[in-house]
Structure 1
Amino acid sequence: MSVRLRRVYEPPEADDGVRVLVDRLWPRGLAKEAARIDEWPKGLTPSTELRRWYHAGKGSYEEFRERYEAELDVPEAAELLEHVRELAAKGPVTLLTAAKDPERSHAAVLAGLLEEED
């Protein structure tokens, strides 16, 4: 299973495979044609409340990860996560985010969960 994590603002690469935007909001200043997004499962993103809590600096990344993983247990999110897992089983998947630090974002949590199944 091949799962990559990249910023959505980076140019698409030939080996990206299925490009999955994992942000709830469309990235600022990015044309949809330029982004080459294949999937946009908004229900897989953190809740607005959790996202605001984390960006306000009220908790650690570890606490954010735990809270987000709990949100992913909700049936809709779990189903979407399984869908992305199935895509990754078939070929490369690139998780895309506008986060300035993708390695400490919800996208990294998703990548970690997908790689656990590997």
Structure 2
Amino acid sequence: MFDEFLKIAEKPKHFGKMEDATKEGMALECGEAVKVFLKIEGEKIKEAKFYGAESMLSKAAGELLMEYIEGKKVEEVKKMEKEDMLKLIKFELTPSKEALALLTFNALKEALK
């Protein structure tokens, strides 16, 4: 399971900047910064990207989250809790690793304020 998770980090499809984002949010944790870019049309997230994740863990977690939220209603995503994000990862993390895994989630929450 962990090997699959790391493969996601090697070539994340949603990694990069977005020039025409309608919402942006940023989060800092453990010396790492992540920025989330969203393109919202109507009530849905049409496109989601993240940028800046340096560790394999934060990059893979960011990819899983962006893939999950694309196409979802903004209100549905706003209701997500950190436990929902951690379920996407599918394995236990230590508290310090959990903080890195939640980095993109925290940036997403900031973007949707």
Q: The TM-score by the shorter chain falls in which range?
A: 0.3 to 0.5
Higher relative contact order (CA 8 A, sep 6+): 1
Q: TM-score, normalised by structure 2?
A: 0.34
Looking at secondary structure, tell me which structure has more strand per residue: 2
Over alpha carbons, which structure has the higher Rg? 1
